[in-house]
Amino acid sequence: DAGITQSPRYKITETGRQVTLMCHQTWSHSYMFWYRQDLGHGLRLIYYSAAADITDKGEVPDGYVVSRSKTENFPLTLESATRSQTSVYFCASSDRDPQPQHFGDGTRLSIL
Protein backbone atom coordinates (compact mmCIF):
# COMPACT_ATOMS: atom_id res chain seq x y z
CA ASP A 1 0.00 0.00 0.00
CA ALA A 2 1.28 3.46 -0.83
CA GLY A 3 0.39 4.56 2.72
CA ILE A 4 3.47 2.95 4.25
CA THR A 5 6.90 3.52 2.76
CA GLN A 6 10.29 2.19 3.67
CA SER A 7 13.67 3.61 2.75
CA PRO A 8 16.11 2.72 1.49
CA ARG A 9 14.89 -0.30 -0.49
CA TYR A 10 18.41 -1.71 -0.69
CA LYS A 11 21.42 -1.06 1.48
CA ILE A 12 24.93 -2.48 1.60
CA THR A 13 27.15 -1.62 4.52
CA GLU A 14 30.09 -2.95 6.48
CA THR A 15 30.30 -4.59 9.88
CA GLY A 16 30.54 -2.12 12.73
CA ARG A 17 28.76 0.67 10.87
CA GLN A 18 25.59 2.27 12.14
CA VAL A 19 22.65 2.09 9.76
CA THR A 20 19.10 3.42 10.07
CA LEU A 21 16.11 2.08 8.21
CA MET A 22 13.22 4.45 7.81
CA CYS A 23 9.50 3.74 7.94
CA HIS A 24 6.77 6.29 7.30
CA GLN A 25 3.00 5.80 7.25
CA THR A 26 0.31 8.28 6.25
CA TRP A 27 -2.71 6.59 7.85
CA SER A 28 -2.09 7.83 11.41
CA HIS A 29 -2.16 4.20 12.57
CA SER A 30 -1.47 3.75 16.25
CA TYR A 31 0.62 0.59 15.97
CA MET A 32 3.87 0.14 14.08
CA PHE A 33 6.12 -2.89 13.83
CA TRP A 34 9.52 -3.97 12.58
CA TYR A 35 10.13 -7.53 11.36
CA ARG A 36 13.07 -9.27 9.86
CA GLN A 37 12.65 -12.10 7.39
CA ASP A 38 15.33 -14.68 6.84
CA LEU A 39 15.09 -17.82 4.76
CA GLY A 40 13.51 -20.53 6.86
CA HIS A 41 12.49 -18.23 9.72
CA GLY A 42 9.36 -16.53 8.50
CA LEU A 43 8.62 -13.13 10.05
CA ARG A 44 10.33 -12.37 13.34
CA LEU A 45 9.26 -9.34 15.35
CA ILE A 46 12.10 -7.02 16.36
CA TYR A 47 10.30 -4.09 18.02
CA TYR A 48 6.85 -2.62 18.03
CA SER A 49 5.13 0.56 19.14
CA ALA A 50 1.58 1.13 20.34
CA ALA A 51 1.78 4.93 20.08
CA ALA A 52 4.24 7.79 19.93
CA ASP A 53 6.91 7.48 22.63
CA ILE A 54 5.83 3.91 23.49
CA THR A 55 8.00 1.05 22.24
CA ASP A 56 8.39 -2.59 23.23
CA LYS A 57 10.77 -5.41 22.45
CA GLY A 58 9.70 -8.24 20.22
CA GLU A 59 11.20 -11.66 19.67
CA VAL A 60 14.68 -10.60 18.42
CA PRO A 61 15.51 -7.09 19.70
CA ASP A 62 19.24 -7.47 20.42
CA GLY A 63 21.44 -5.15 18.35
CA TYR A 64 18.56 -2.88 17.33
CA VAL A 65 17.23 0.44 18.60
CA VAL A 66 13.95 2.13 17.74
CA SER A 67 12.29 5.43 18.46
CA ARG A 68 8.90 6.91 17.78
CA SER A 69 8.80 10.63 18.38
CA LYS A 70 6.02 11.09 15.81
CA THR A 71 3.07 8.81 15.10
CA GLU A 72 3.94 8.50 11.40
CA ASN A 73 7.61 7.55 11.71
CA PHE A 74 9.27 4.50 13.23
CA PRO A 75 12.98 4.30 12.39
CA LEU A 76 15.04 1.19 13.14
CA THR A 77 18.74 1.61 13.89
CA LEU A 78 21.45 -1.01 13.89
CA GLU A 79 24.01 0.60 16.16
CA SER A 80 26.95 -1.59 15.13
CA ALA A 81 25.97 -3.81 12.22
CA THR A 82 26.94 -7.48 12.19
CA ARG A 83 26.79 -10.01 9.34
CA SER A 84 24.02 -11.89 11.16
CA GLN A 85 21.81 -8.84 10.66
CA THR A 86 21.85 -9.31 6.90
CA SER A 87 18.16 -9.77 6.15
CA VAL A 88 15.04 -8.31 4.62
CA TYR A 89 13.38 -5.87 7.00
CA PHE A 90 9.67 -5.13 6.87
CA CYS A 91 7.85 -2.33 8.60
CA ALA A 92 4.12 -2.65 9.23
CA SER A 93 1.35 -0.59 10.75
CA SER A 94 -2.18 -1.19 11.97
CA ASP A 95 -5.03 0.74 13.48
CA ARG A 96 -6.64 -0.14 16.79
CA ASP A 97 -8.11 -3.59 17.28
CA PRO A 98 -8.92 -5.71 15.57
CA GLN A 99 -7.34 -4.54 12.37
CA PRO A 100 -4.87 -6.18 9.99
CA GLN A 101 -1.27 -5.08 9.65
CA HIS A 102 -0.23 -3.39 6.43
CA PHE A 103 3.35 -3.98 5.32
CA GLY A 104 5.83 -1.78 3.54
CA ASP A 105 7.81 -3.04 0.55
CA GLY A 106 10.79 -3.98 2.69
CA THR A 107 14.46 -3.06 2.89
CA ARG A 108 17.02 -5.60 1.74
CA LEU A 109 20.07 -5.06 3.94
CA SER A 110 23.43 -6.69 3.29
CA ILE A 111 26.27 -6.39 5.76
CA LEU A 112 29.69 -7.28 4.47
Partner 1 sequence: GENVEQHPSTLSVQEGDSAVIKCTYSDSASNYFPWYKQELGKRPQLIIDIRSNVGEKKDQRIAVTLNKTAKHFSLHITETQPEDSAVYFCAAKRSSASKIIFGSGTRLSIRP
Interface positions, 7-46, toward partner 1 (CB under 8 A):
31, 33, 41-43, 45
Angle in degrees, CA 102, 57, 50, rounded to 5: 50
Binder among 81, 93, 106, 111 for partner 1 (CB under 8 A): 106
CA–CA distance, 89 with 9 (Å, rounded to integer): 9
Binder among 74, 104, 109, 111 for partner 1 (CB under 8 A): 104
Beta strands in the chain (DSSP E): 4-7, 10-13, 19-25, 31-38, 42-51, 54-57, 64-66, 76-78, 87-94, 102-103, 107-111
Residue 65 C-beta: closest distance to partner 1, Å: 18
Binder among 8, 50, 80, 84 for partner 1 (CB under 8 A): 50
In the complex, which residues of this chain contact partner 1 (CB under 8 A)?
31, 33, 41-43, 45, 48, 50, 56, 58, 90, 97-98, 100-106
